Amino acid sequence: MILSGLVLAYPYKETLPLVSTVGIENLVPFGRLFRRLHYLTGLLTLVFLLYHAFEAWRAQSYERRSWLRWLGLGLTLPWMFLLAFTGYIARGDQTGLFAGYIAETLSLHVPFLGPYVNAFFFLVREEGVHRAYWFHLYGSGLMLLTVGLWHFRLRRTPLNHLLYWGTFSLALVPFLPLGLHGPGNYLLVKGPWFFVGIQEALRYLPPTWAGVIFPLLGPALYIGIKASSGRTVFKVAFLLWLGTYGGLTIVGLAR
């Protein structure tokens, strides 16, 4: 993911995001390949992180880990989702910008800190994809230098596993539908799959609840499982949240 991102970062210009993305697809040698490889490896990283969080819960590692390490795992989840989402915005097409507008509006509903959150991650209406792109770039590097190096120290992946996943990723690349949407009138715009649950929740709840409290509740409940008192309550609440978010996502994708 990092290597393909570095290859794409060289010809990409955040001042002309859509033009850059189209140029990468059609003019840069192997640009189409690297863009799809970047998407796929990012998706696999996100899926494997979710699986790692599930395994840590199933193995009850919260009983062995310190609060700091468990908190780090819990915070890595929303951080990775933000990296994936800002990458979706950075492509600069119509759906990416619409997703950025929605996220910018929701960030302004964060109590007390809304303008600062928006200024740090988005500010899409004023500056386009600039801040989302730089967070995507530097945030990925920060995750590599912290979480990545920590896990490299704990466990080294065998070379045959790396070759297997590399071959698997390359084999799937030709089948990835990474279309771009130019300016136009769209009756329904869907963000990335992990954002659809929030979009669907916005149909039933006010923005502060649907776009701020509801999505942050999941990681907060997951982190709260570490607490010895009330652990069962946190587990049941997290499962209810997970089922609700999954259901909203399925309904949203089916529209």
pLDDT in tens, 202-249: 999 999 999 999 999 999 999 999 987 778 899 999 999 999 999 999
pLDDT at 2 over 90: no
Write out the two tokens for 20.
Answer: 């850059």
Domain boundary among 155, 185, 215: 185
Q: Is 190 among the domain residues?
A: no
Same-domain pairing of 111 and 225:
no
pLDDT at 168 over 90: no
Whole-model pTM above 0.85?
Answer: yes
- pLDDT tens profile 61-81: 888 888 988 998 899 999 999
Sign of CA dihedral 90, 95, 100, 101: positive
Write out the two tokens for 154.
Answer: 């704990």
Confidence (pLDDT) at 151: 66
Same-domain pairing of 234 and 145:
no
Domain boundary among 185, 215, 239: 185
Task: Give Cβ neighbours of residue 149 (< 8 Å, ≥ 6 apart).
Answer: none
Domain range enclosing 246: 195-255
Tell me how many domains the chain contains. 2
Domain boundary among 185, 207, 241: 185
Same-domain pairing of 128 and 217:
no
Q: Is 112 among the domain residues?
A: yes
Q: Which residue has the higher pLDDT, 164 or 114?
A: 114
Amino acid code (one letter) for 126 = E
Same-domain pairing of 240 and 160:
no
Mean pLDDT over 88-92 rounds to: 91
For the chain, the average pLDDT equals 86
What is the DSSP code string of 18-84? HHHHHHHHHTSTTHHHHHHHHHHHHHHHHHHHHHHHHHHHHTTGGGTS-HHHHHHHHHHHHHHHHHH
- pLDDT tens profile 107-121: 999 999 999 999 999
Q: Is 130 among the domain residues?
A: yes
Same-domain pairing of 27 and 73:
yes
Q: Which residue has the higher pLDDT, 8 or 162?
A: 8
Confidence (pLDDT) at 188: 67
pLDDT at 176 over 80: no
